[in-house]
């Protein structure tokens, strides 16, 4: 959203009182100023109601979905947000499963495109599916039932829906996501916008671990890479990016250009003819997309997650990748060209590379902003009853 990596962005971890400020400039604000109508549909973790980080205060003309990541955990909540108003879902009260939130969010996204098809629009659709909970309506699960070994996966948190046929449930969730993306593409074609709209599709992290680890292993969710969501090994942060723009981007083209989410803001700004803010970390990858001009590359990429115990961090510098997996640990070092699965820590053999990595870390971050103590940590009772 901001063109900043996690050493600079104000939101570096989950939490109710972590949010964007009025001074932060989002890609939605840039595109809105450039004449685009902006809509967001799905999960937002950059500011709950009552903070300046809420989506409709950060450049979005419309928002429908969740303003807190815990709210987005539940597919049968009893309400969702439309801008700053709660939309009640009485079909889900009392533990009923009458309205699958993903489907309602999808309806609003499609309606936004229909209503604004005759003017420039930016439609941001951060789907939650197939994130927790492990549940999907019957029409998506039934096609996989009996195709896989039966597996029970229980979420240890009270009130979260689990599955006694987890592989079929998960496959159904992925297929429902595929169907939703297909509906967007079909609508663009119906409205004769498919050749004049650039579509980006990616994931915010690698396959989920913890109680979902059997799913990742069964479906080869990381392609054999080490790690999973929540850590800095390649299985946790390396994701494909698919971009479609007929007549502009060569069909079937593949690039090994290394980019990160903070590159999205300057890329979309350049595509829209808008000026990106000064001092951001992102670099436009439009030259790579269009195959025109010289593509500037990052000197290094930096990630961090702050916690009460300290920081976990990672640095990518060319083929070198350094990972600090725990706050008290030293940096591990891997050569991704020779060892893409990060099996051999070669930090001891390359002290000069570790010194360069350490120099990068010194300039890569500013201290996280001070936030007030959380008065309330939301749980299932806030969203499901």
DSSP-based three-state secondary structure for 207: coil
Q: What is the pLDDT of residues 161-200, one digit of tens each?
A: 999 999 999 999 999 999 999 999 999 999 999 999 999 9
Output the pLDDT for position 32.
98
Residue 16 pLDDT level (bands cut at 50, 70, 90): low
Q: What is the pLDDT of residues 322-347, one digit of tens each?
A: 999 999 999 999 999 999 999 999 99
CA distances from 19 to 57, 84, 279, 344 (A): 11, 16, 20, 38
Q: What is the pLDDT of residues 40-94, one digit of tens each?
A: 999 999 999 999 999 999 999 999 999 998 999 999 999 999 999 999 999 999 9
Note whether residue 238 is domain-resident: yes
> Looking at the predicted structure, is the pLDDT value of residue 370 above 80?
no
End-to-end alpha-carbon separation of the chain, Å? Answer: 32
d(CA 252, CA 25): 34
Note whether residue 309 is domain-resident: no
Q: What is the pLDDT of residues 238-291, one digit of tens each?
A: 999 999 999 999 999 999 999 999 999 999 999 999 999 999 999 999 999 999
Whole-prediction pTM: 0.95
Mean per-residue pLDDT for 122-138? 96
Note whether residue 93 is domain-resident: yes
Instruction: Please list the residues that pair with 320 across neighbouring strands.
Output: 317, 335
Output the pLDDT for position 362.
93
Residue 291: which region, alpha, beta or left (left: phi > 0; alpha: psi -120 to 50)? left
Residue 15 pLDDT level (bands cut at 50, 70, 90): confident
What are the DSSP calls for 210-240, one per residue?
A: GGGHHHHHHTTTTTT-S--TTSSSHHHH---
Note whether residue 67 is domain-resident: yes
Note whether residue 312 is domain-resident: no
CB-based contacts of 251, cutoff 8 Å, min separation 6: none
Number of domains in the chain: 1
- CATH code of the domain in which 200 resides: 3.40.720.10
Domain span including residue 119:
27-299
Output the pLDDT for position 374.
63
Complete edge-to-edge strand list for the sheet that includes strand 37-43: 85-88, 79-82, 62-66, 37-43, 121-124
Note whether residue 70 is domain-resident: yes
Residue 372 pLDDT level (bands cut at 50, 70, 90): low
**Mean residue pLDDT across the chain:** 95
Note whether residue 105 is domain-resident: yes
Note whether residue 314 is domain-resident: no
Output the pLDDT for position 307.
80
């Amino acid at each position: 959203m901001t063109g900043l990596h996690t050493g600079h962005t104000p939101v570096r971890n989950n939490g109710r009182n972590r949010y964007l400020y009025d001074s932060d400039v989002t890609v939605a604000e840039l595109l809105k100023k450039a004449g685009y109508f902006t809509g967001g549909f799905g999960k937002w973790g950059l500011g709950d109601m009552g903070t300046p980080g809420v989506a409709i205060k950060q450049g979005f003309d419309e928002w429908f979905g969740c303003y807190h990541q815990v709210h987005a955990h539940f597919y049968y909540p009893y309400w969702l947000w439309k801008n700053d108003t709660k939309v009640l879902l009485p079909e889900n009260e009392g533990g009923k499963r009458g309205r699958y939130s993903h489907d309602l969010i999808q309806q609003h996204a499609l309606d936004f495109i229909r209503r604004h098809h005759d003017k420039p629009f930016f439609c941001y659709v951060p789907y939650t599916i197939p994130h927790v909970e492990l549940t999907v309506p019957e029409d998506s699960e039934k096609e996989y039932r009996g195709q896989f070994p039966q597996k029970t996966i229980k979420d240890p948190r009270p009130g979260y829906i689990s599955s006694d046929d987890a592989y079929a449930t998960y496959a159904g969730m992925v297929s429902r996501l595929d169907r939703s993306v297909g509906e967007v593409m079909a609508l663009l074609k119906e409205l004769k916008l498919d050749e004049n709209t650039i579509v980006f599709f990616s994931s915010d992290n690698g396959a989920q671990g913890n109680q979902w680890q059997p799913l990742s292993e069964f479906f080869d969710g990381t392609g054999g890479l080490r790690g999973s969501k929540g850590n800095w090994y390649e299985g946790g942060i390396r994701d494909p990016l698919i971009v479609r723009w007929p007549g502009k981007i060569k069909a079937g083209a593949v690039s090994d250009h290394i980019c990160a989410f903070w590159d999205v803001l300057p890329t979309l700004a350049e595509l829209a003819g808008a000026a990106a803010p000064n001092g951001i970390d992102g670099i436009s990858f439009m030259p790579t997309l269009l195959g025109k001009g010289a593509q500037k590359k990052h000197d290094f990429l930096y990630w961090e997650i702050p916690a009460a115990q300290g920081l976990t961090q990672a640095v990518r510098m060319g083929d070198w990748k350094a990972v600090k997996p725990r706050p008290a640990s030293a940096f591990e070092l891997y050569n991704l060209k020779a060892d893409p699965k990060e099996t051999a820590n070669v930090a001891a053999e390359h002290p000069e590379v570790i010194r360069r990595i350490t120099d990068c870390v010194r300039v890569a971050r500013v201290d996280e902003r001070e936030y007030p103590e959380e008065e309330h940590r939301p749980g299932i009772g806030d969203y499901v009853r």
